[in-house]
Amino acid sequence: MIRGGRAALAVALLTGCAAVPHATPEDAARAAGSWPGISVADLEAGRSRYVARCTSCHRARSPARYPPDRWGAHLDKMAERARLSPDDRDLILRYLVTLAGRPATP
Ligand code: HEC
């Protein structure tokens, strides 16, 4: 059991997953202020698109690396490189902006 846990942690660290947090109900509640009706599943869909489409040239940057209002410009530039569909761009943007806007942990 402990071994399995360590292996999973090692995989998470190697693939940089720790930098790409999963969305929570609190995230969805905050995001609904900007996108009414948005769900955890919507944010998680954005997360998986982000991991799938934005890591072929460089590692995934943590959403917290930039303030929420900076992600739009980065994504506009990278959407072309990643050949994102408008739907994927929206999903990824909502995920990044929402997670970047998490309140600082005390
Ligand atoms: C085809 C390769 C490629 C793909 C796919 C790609 N990027 Fe990038 N990205 C780069 C390169 C090269 C740089 C560094 C040079 C630059 O900033 O132009 C970069 C830099 C960045 C930066 C830092 C910009 C800065 O000014 O410091 C961010 C943020 C970023 N990428 C986000 C993303 C996101 C989000 C996606 C998915 C939509 C993505 N990237 C997909 C090639 C790519």
What would the pLDDT profile of 21-34 be if each residue is shown by its tens digit? Answer: 999 999 999 999 99
Contact 100, 68 (CB under 8 A): yes
Q: What is the pTM of this model?
A: 0.86
Ligand 1, atom nearest to 74 Cα: 29
Q: Return the domain boundaries, the chain.
A: 21-100
For ligand 1, residues with CB inside 6 Å are 53-54, 56-58, 61, 74-75, 78-79, 81-82, 84, 92
What would the pLDDT profile of 42-86 be if each residue is shown by its tens digit? Answer: 999 999 999 999 999 999 999 999 999 999 999 999 999 999 999
Question: Could you say which DSSP state residue 36 is in?
Answer: T
Give the HSE-up count for residue 85: Cα atoms under 13 Å, Cβ half-sphere. 5
The pLDDT of residue 49 = 97
What is the share, in percent, of the chain residues with pLDDT greater than 90?
A: 79
